[in-house]
Structure 1
Amino acid sequence: MAARTAISAAQLDRTLGVWQRGRDSAYRSLAGSLRTLVLDGRVPVDVRLPAERELSAVLGVSRTTVAAAYEVLRTEGFLASRRGAGSWTALPAGRPMPVAGLSPFPTDSGGVIDLGVAALSAPEPWITTALTAAVAELPAYTRTHGDFPLGLQVLRQAVADRFVQRGLPTTADQIMVTNGAAGALSLLLRQLAGPGERIAVESPSYANALQAIRLCGARPVPVPLAEDGWRLDAWAGTLRAAAPSLAYVIPDFHNPTALVMPEEQRAELVSLARATGTQLIVDETMVELSLDPETPLPLPLAAFDRTGSVITVGSAGKTFWGGLRIGWIRARPELVQRIAADRASLDVCSPLVEQLAVRHLLTESLPEVLAHQRRRVTEQRDALVAAVHEALPDWTFRVPQGGLSLWVRTGEDGPGGSALATAAQRFGVWIGSGPRFGVDGVLERFVRLPYAQPPEVSWEAVRRLAAAAATEAVPAPAPDFSLL
């Protein structure tokens, strides 16, 4: 059996951040914080934890405290142990998962409102119409082997045409269809990043992308975002000092902050990356989710690149529906061909029916779908903003003009993000705590709140969050300089 991945006591200490809560005993506070790390995915399942003596020395608590915390987690099913093999993280058997879009709110069946996922339910009737059209077109492909590593030509052309409409000349041979944006990023990291490779990332950044970078053995190097956007002086310093081979950025309705990078900064970032030999991977997953149709979006970041070295990742998941699981890569044709050749040993290709459906949505229904999405997302955003202002008036945030989430700084006298996420579970709400979106446990004063739920669900979720926050009298965490 392969050796389990281990996390050192020093790493776990950094990831825990401020874990002691005023009303709980030390061992219960430690157990609750460790549980949250597992549920957040910041400590994956089946990772070996430090020995009790080692962790107690680093945390500055007694070994009895760590032993009692580990015992709580074993009893709950979040920890498994075997004499001589140590203890490793686990999930309880049969643990119920959160239900997205839960409404009405059950009070007697353990229902959970999921604010951990920033994704919309399907816009109808367009999804059903597109899938029906796709099935009708399928017979033209069933006479083939069905294996198209680059993606169907009709979809590659439709994606290329959409880039052209947005001001970026693109041909179909620059496009590869993937299994969502996550699949696109995984294929790129597999091709371009080796173990120990440095990859510059924004702080905060998309939690699943950070996890993908770690899982490929690379090292994310954080570059802090300011509250109003990107600091190009910080990017210049990081690119020169760390010499990362890659950088992963989200310039359009950034996840989780919903910020948009101005055009002049896009040009400067491309110039900085070219000067230091850093290849940019640009995540455009949220690009179509503008809530202000009167204000045109900046040109795609790749439009400022004359060498073809900027790689763009996109997806149908946020624009249309995540259940379609179709994404794409825009890159130099030779890189596209290399990735496609490598793909045979990973996931081979993307499902044909979903590709045909996305082609239909892009070419036949895009204006109507975007108008529909804009109306409902605006209503959902406004409801969440009003709910937080009313129930949690000391929480602060920018009101985004697009994207799917609020990036919220919690009140100074209340719990930090990790403690709040733990407490919220007891009130039937799942949220993403700030450290999920950072490197090494920073951003403890933040939470991400998606406005992907109907207004009545958001109101109820915030009511529950306010109740959870009121139960958590905790010391303020250490000062957070990540957004300064």
Structure 2
Amino acid sequence: MTDALLGTRALRSLLGEWKDGGGPLYQALYDRIRLLVLDGRIPAGTRLPAERELAQALEVSRTLVTSAYRELREGGYTTSIRGSGSVTRVPGRANLAVDAVGGFLDFTKAIMPASPGIALATQRSMDDFGRYLQGPGYNFEGIPELREAVAARYTVRGLPTTPDQILVTTGAQSAIALLSRVLLARGDRALVELPSYPHAYEALAQAGARLVPVSVTPGEGWDESALEQLMRRTNPAVGYLMPDFHNPTGESMSAELRERTIDQATRAGTTLLVDETSGELDIDRVGSLLPFAAYATPGDERSVVTIGSVGKTIWDGLRVGWIRAEPGLIRTLAAARPSSDLGTPVLEQLIVTRMLPDMPSILDGRREQLREGRDRLEQLVDERFPSWSAPRVAGGIASWVGLGSAVSSQLALAARAEGLLITAGPRFGLDGALERFLRIPLGYPTAQLEQGMDALVRAWQTIMRNPMPGAQAFGDVA
């Protein structure tokens, strides 16, 4: 049995313009639901609407919906449970129709390879590990030496910080979830960017928030007028922002906009959750902006809570992040933490403590990797996809590529058949929008980037042989 029921209105919104394909409508419906399951917009274990209800909502025959549901069941994307109807599941790789030799190339994660210094830091951390073996093995706030190292790093970057302002978490996602649970009551509004990091949407929604989006556009950045109006009119309890190398657009806020946003948040009683996990991944904009909280005037500091991590700089496998906030909130968060986890593993904290002093040299290496990836991606897009646009980004982990047509979901499905896993644009939005965009990561080795782009060429050729008529109207929109 499952308690998760997807309503007909919600599914209809997620489906978007699914009827615009050139093949049979039942196949188009099957393909769209299949992608929604694969990229997580419909979580595994969700009960789909009854066939009759969905047919009425979509204004199609029940036979069509029955055929689509049958394809989903035979493909391993749903299972039939007595009394619950069709419940979604993610099939094992053996059930996925993929022709690629050697499995999938995974572009769904915008990550960097492990930093070369991790192995040595791990060996040296074992010298420090012994003194923790006599203790309980967990600490709600984090080990003292890592809190000191994180605080020192902020201070060096221009934001004076003390260790009692730091709480170490099990990655940035754990920080977002903990803050959402502590700062939000059910029904509170949460201001979010559109597009944005999808797991932040999920954490905020799971805490009961109603999401209020403000757009971030490649080449233009934040809709400043809408941001100000939404802050004033909706009084959101929290606002989740990525002001540096925004994921996925790569945009960064100006110093002036940072100051205005903090002022508006203070007036509205909004706590800004500022995700700076990519904030130091400069390519061209080295050191020109301070951490976001440094732009707060005296009295406004409590409006800004900073989320950090070593996932994008050192290695995602370490799962070490942190929260920077005023000491009172840190104590509140530490008290609330045990219901979800009892602390971050000690050895990983010791490794990060060892590596943080070397961050300048680590970032130099990351800068070269990202510059190589960005420049090669721009070259490949220019050569192979004349209708696409890859905006020039000054840093960050990905490029938010414009496709010229509303075919992102269709392209992601076709790419899967070529051995490439890539996330369709709507995964980064709300209610099925953003079909004209595709996020392509910049941190992969050049050979893998080229392999992935080769797969996208083949996938693009496949969908262009069977174009979406409704998408052609968007072909020349900049």
Same fold? TM cut 0.5: yes
Q: Secondary structure at the match of 2:101?
A: coil
CA distance in 1, matches of 2:265, 2:205: 22
Contact kept in structure 2, 1:309 and 1:332, CA below 8 Å? no
Contact kept in structure 2, 1:199 and 1:246, CA below 8 Å? yes
CA distance in 2, matches of 1:29, 1:454: 35
Contact kept in structure 1, 2:378 and 2:390, CA below 8 Å? no
Which blocks of at least 5 consecutive residues in structure 1 are unaligned?
Answer: 99-105
Does residue 371 of structure 1 match 2:364? yes
Q: Please tell me the residue identity of whatever aligns with 1:32.
A: D
Contact kept in structure 1, 2:37 and 2:44, CA below 8 Å? yes
RMSD of the TM alignment (CA)?
2.1
Q: Secondary structure at the match of 1:265?
A: helix
Contact kept in structure 2, 1:49 and 1:88, CA below 8 Å? yes
CA distance in 1, matches of 2:52, 2:28: 18
CA distance in 1, matches of 2:473, 2:121: 50
1:315-326 superposed matches below 5 A: 315-326=309-320
CA distance in 1, matches of 2:161, 2:21: 57
Q: Secondary structure at the match of 2:409?
A: helix
Distance 1:15 1:477, change over 3 A: farther
CA distance in 2, matches of 1:426, 1:21: 21
Q: CA deviation at 1:479?
A: 8.1
Does residue 303 of structure 1 match 2:302? no
Contact kept in structure 1, 2:100 and 2:419, CA below 8 Å? no
**TM-score normalised by the chain length of structure 1:** 0.93
CA distance in 2, matches of 1:303, 1:419: 43
Q: CA deviation at 1:286?
A: 0.1
1:227-266 superposed matches below 5 A: 227=218, 228-266=220-258
CA distance in 2, matches of 1:107, 1:90: 22
The counterpart of 2:260, out of the listed 253, 268, 289, is: 268
Distance 1:208 1:297, change over 3 A: farther
The corresponding residue for 2:131 is 140
Does residue 46 of structure 1 match 2:53? no
Contact kept in structure 1, 2:272 and 2:305, CA below 8 Å? yes
The counterpart of 2:380, out of the listed 382, 387, 390, is: 387
The corresponding residue for 2:332 is 338
Number of aligned residue pairs: 469
Contact kept in structure 2, 1:18 and 1:478, CA below 8 Å? no
Q: Deviations over 1:270-321 (max 9, x none)?
A: 111111111100000001110126x423122211223322100000000110
The corresponding residue for 1:181 is 172
CA distance in 2, matches of 1:159, 1:349: 17
Contact kept in structure 1, 2:265 and 2:303, CA below 8 Å? no
**TM-score normalised by the chain length of structure 2:** 0.94
Q: CA deviation at 1:107?
A: 7.2
CA distance in 1, matches of 2:234, 2:77: 37
Q: Deviations over 1:132-156 (max 9, x none)?
A: 1111211122122222110011111
Give the stretch that moved more between structures: 54-63 or 36-45: 54-63
Q: Secondary structure at the match of 1:344?
A: helix
Q: Please tell me the residue identity of whatever aligns with 1:172.
A: P
The corresponding residue for 2:189 is 198
Contact kept in structure 1, 2:284 and 2:394, CA below 8 Å? yes
Q: Please tell me the residue identity of whatever aligns with 1:150.
A: E
Does residue 154 of structure 1 match 2:153? no
CA distance in 2, matches of 1:286, 1:327: 12
Q: Secondary structure at the match of 1:252?
A: coil
Contact kept in structure 1, 2:81 and 2:87, CA below 8 Å? no
Does residue 208 of structure 1 match 2:180? no
The counterpart of 1:351, out of the listed 336, 345, 348, is: 345
Aligned-residue sequence identity (percent) comes to 41
